[in-house]
Amino acid sequence: MVSYASSPAAEVVYASEPLTDASTGAILADGMCFRQVEFAGILKGTPNRKLAEQWIDFMLSTTFQEDMPLQMFVYPVNPKAKLPDAFSKYASIPEMPARLTPAEITSGRETWIEAWTEAVLR
């Protein structure tokens, strides 16, 4: 399964029967996964600049950032945000994620998709 290093936490949180451990895990060896970073921003020229700034401030607030892990299974960016117990216990952060430039991804994308499709459909 292709997923996130936070997926074991989701498995425990959303289990129909209570679990004491996740049956899935994440492969965190050096270079074996990518760090996904999600962004929010304000478009240049927006007629609602003040409201957009307030929204970004809210998204960066401790309240929002502490709610995010169990809603979207992503890590907070606000260093003051505390992680929920399930996230701390079952989710992981790779120390050395793979790094590819956009040019490397563009040049290898089709080959990798074909290889993945062949491996999965075997």
pLDDT band at 49 (very low <50, low <70, confident <90, very high): very high
Q: What is the pLDDT of residue 23?
A: 83
Is residue 1 assigned to a domain?
Answer: no
Is residue 45 assigned to a domain?
Answer: yes
Is residue 19 assigned to a domain?
Answer: yes
Is residue 24 assigned to a domain?
Answer: yes
pTM (2 decimals)? 0.74
Cα torsion 103, 106, 108, 112: sign: positive
Mean pLDDT of 69-85: 94
CA distances to 5, 29, 121 from 95, rounded to whole Å, are 12, 8, 31
Q: What is the pLDDT of residue 25?
A: 82
Q: What is the pLDDT of residue 51?
A: 97
Is residue 56 assigned to a domain?
Answer: yes
Structural domains of the chain, count: 1
Mean pLDDT of the chain: 91
What CA–CA distance (Å, rounded) separates 75 from 107? 30
pLDDT-above-70 percentage for the chain: 98
Q: What is the pLDDT of residue 92?
A: 87
Domain that holds residue 38: 7-121
Q: Check whether 80 has a pLDDT greater than 80.
A: yes
Is residue 76 assigned to a domain?
Answer: yes
Is residue 2 assigned to a domain?
Answer: no
Q: What is the DSSP letter of 71?
A: H
Q: What is the pLDDT of residue 35?
A: 83
